[in-house]
Structure 1
Amino acid sequence: MPGKILITGGSGLIGMRLSEMLIDLGYEVAHLSRNPNKVSSYKTFKWDVAKGYIDDNAVSYADYIINLAGASVADEKWSEERKKEIINSRVESIKLLHKCLSQSEHHVKGFISASAIGIYGDSGDRLVSEESSYADDFLAEVCKAWEDAAWQMRELDLRTVIFRLGIVLSDKGGALPQIAKPVKMLAGAPLGSGKQYMSWVHIDDACRLFIRAIEDTQFEGVYNAVAPHPVTNQEFTKELAEVMHKPLVLPNVPAFALNLMMGEMSEVVLASQRVSANKVMQTGFTFEYNYLEEALESFYKPS
């Protein structure tokens, strides 16, 4: 019996698509938002993480909470201030929910939170799984703090699921339009050596995983949310050019140029992450988009 789902970060890329898919399945959906007066097609409760405020009705509304809140890691260069904001936006929002849940009557059965495969750092060609060790760079630090905050929900007897998301592919935002832009303009090129692995997931599969975690109580703990076939950056760029019917003419963009443009943030595109989807597949979950070509064709349909 579909229930009521409260989403933090609901106006983001995944939040919007997930809300649509939940509604299609008969769920009721509400968002937590700083400005609930913004016109939204979803029921919206106010919260203000900086001020530690959350509408009490939000938590009493929910059967499940899906946590997608967090400042984007790719929107601007990582100044010290921006780094603080990236971590705090994730950790403080969960702490606020935890506090509210521990102090109020509610019927929340589970807490499902996003994290990211950034926790593994640059792992070269090595296939990493949920048991692999963490890196010690900035993105790994963000993910660890994020997950530690989410784990505290278990103290409240909530079934807690954490999805370490790979590169979420969507034509509505995120990495794909950024990668596609130069390809469209015939300036597409692999980044760095091009040999670094990219572990990706189609946005619909990512959303289906969140929905599955609501419906299937065997889900508990950490799962990599990545499609089963990671590709190198070179393969990614080549497949994208083929699907878009564009030639690849330029040599690789050298790592030092990316460092100049993006600073430390170039880690995001230069780190190699070859991440295993086995644990998710062992639950019986099947991906609609197993291979990159199918995923890209769903966005750039051959005309």
Structure 2
Amino acid sequence: MKILITGATGLIGSELVPALQSFGHQIHYLTTSPTKKKYFTDAQSFLWNPQKNEIDSRCWEGVSVLIHLAGASISIPWTTANRIKIRQSRIQSTQLLVQSLKATKQTLDTVVAASGIGLYPSSLDGLYKESDAAGSDFLSSVVKDWEDVVNDFASYTSKIIKLRTGLVLSRKGGVLPVLSLPVQMGLGAAFGSGKQGQSWVHISDLIQLYIFALELDESNVFNAVAPQPVTQNELIKILGLVIKRPVFLPNIPAFLIRLFLGDRSALVLGSQFVSAAKIQEKGFLFRYTTLEMALRQLYSAEK
């Protein structure tokens, strides 16, 4: 099949494209940067600019599947301008795709859209399921609005699959290099109480989840997390064990984190224990079910 991907050159997309190609799929991808038009071998690139409502409509030619990954990083400072950027990079890009697809008068078989477990309220209790309500903070509202606008594809596709992604573990980017650097220097410590839930997924399992989603027969939403979430205390301790560095410093007090990061402290002080049961019930088998297993693979492999 021919698949159109947004966010193809990011952490997830750059792994997903070659994986899809290995199954014989043809890839179209959208990029805002002319310098990334030759980013992949044997993939066709098209320019777009969601901020200006511009897109090369030829990107849809022959396409039966859209995988929508595009969105600004939530780790940038949460200034007023960046809050708008975080939200609009998701909302505007999705609206542009819907409008562009509508104009072509074609329909798709499947839309697979990235989402996030930031939808759920911060809580030290329970295990969030896909049916649980969204929170009311900044991240929750962004994810909820993002998922809502993805529903606008319903008139132009047979099914929509949303994957609410947790902490993606990869040595090429994301949270792991940030967490591992102080641990490697002997300065590793959890934030706040350390009891906050960290629902994670190995990058390889996440790639397989996207491929698995293409075969599902109806619209649905799934948590894209491994079956065994951990606390932040456990995450730092296991990371130290795997890279053979002691973790002995006291946790960094929550008030200091809030002082330096402001509202963005929610990224490290927020807590979501999230269930993977629904996607497992559909038949998906995780290769990396425990954090230690995932980290040992990542640190035994080449970067």
Give TM-score scaled by structure 1 length.
0.95
Correspondence for 2:292: 293
1:213-243 CA distance string (max 9 Å, x none): 112324x221100000000000000000000
Residue pair 2:226, 2:289 contacting (<8 A) in 1 also:
yes
Report which stretch shifted further, 60-69 or 89-98. Answer: 60-69
Correspondence for 2:250: 251
Correspondence for 2:22: 24
Residues 1:62 and 1:158: Cα distance change in structure 2 (over 3 Å):
same
In the alignment, the residues of structure 2 paired with residue 260 and residue 143 of structure 1 have an alpha-carbon distance, to the nearest angstrom, of 25
Correspondence for 2:64: 63
1:53-109 CA distance string (max 9 Å, x none): 1111101242211000000000x2101111111000001111011011111143521
Residues 1:15 and 1:302: Cα distance change in structure 2 (over 3 Å):
closer
Shift of 1:19: 0.8
Correspondence for 2:2: 4
Matches within 5 A, 1:64-103: 64-74=65-75, 76-103=76-103
In the alignment, the residues of structure 1 paired with residue 223 and residue 151 of structure 2 have an alpha-carbon distance, to the nearest angstrom, of 16
Residues 1:6 and 1:36: Cα distance change in structure 2 (over 3 Å):
farther
Residue pair 2:119, 2:141 contacting (<8 A) in 1 also:
yes
Residue pair 1:123, 1:271 contacting (<8 A) in 2 also:
yes
- Whether 1:163 aligns to 2:171 is no
Q: Report the residue type matching 1:69 in the other structure.
A: A
Matches within 5 A, 1:131-170: 131-170=131-170
Report which stretch shifted further, 17-26 or 92-101. Answer: 17-26
In the alignment, the residues of structure 1 paired with residue 174 and residue 49 of structure 2 have an alpha-carbon distance, to the nearest angstrom, of 25
Q: Secondary structure at the match of 1:150?
A: helix
Correspondence for 1:227: 226
In the alignment, the residues of structure 1 paired with residue 233 and residue 26 of structure 2 have an alpha-carbon distance, to the nearest angstrom, of 42
In the alignment, the residues of structure 2 paired with residue 185 and residue 61 of structure 1 have an alpha-carbon distance, to the nearest angstrom, of 51
Q: Report the residue type matching 2:189 in the other structure.
A: A
In the alignment, the residues of structure 2 paired with residue 168 and residue 232 of structure 1 have an alpha-carbon distance, to the nearest angstrom, of 15
Give TM-score scaled by structure 2 length.
0.95
Shift of 1:37: 4.1
Matches within 5 A, 1:95-134: 95-134=95-134
How many residues are treated as equivalent by the alignment? Answer: 299
In the alignment, the residues of structure 2 paired with residue 244 and residue 157 of structure 1 have an alpha-carbon distance, to the nearest angstrom, of 45
1:153-199 CA distance string (max 9 Å, x none): 11224310100001111000000110001000000011110111100
Residue pair 2:107, 2:157 contacting (<8 A) in 1 also:
no
Shift of 1:133: 1.4
In the alignment, the residues of structure 1 paired with residue 261 and residue 137 of structure 2 have an alpha-carbon distance, to the nearest angstrom, of 16
Residue pair 1:244, 1:302 contacting (<8 A) in 2 also:
no
State the percentage of identical aligned residues: 41
Residue pair 1:121, 1:139 contacting (<8 A) in 2 also:
no
Shift of 1:51: 1.4
Shift of 1:249: 2.2
Q: Secondary structure at the match of 1:148?
A: helix
In the alignment, the residues of structure 1 paired with residue 95 and residue 220 of structure 2 have an alpha-carbon distance, to the nearest angstrom, of 18
Question: Which segments of 5 or more consecutive residues in structure 2 lack a partner in the other structure?
Answer: none
Residue pair 1:9, 1:69 contacting (<8 A) in 2 also:
yes
Question: Which segments of 5 or more consecutive residues in structure 1 lack a partner in the other structure?
Answer: none
Q: Report the residue type matching 1:234 in the other structure.
A: N
Residues 1:147 and 1:225: Cα distance change in structure 2 (over 3 Å):
same
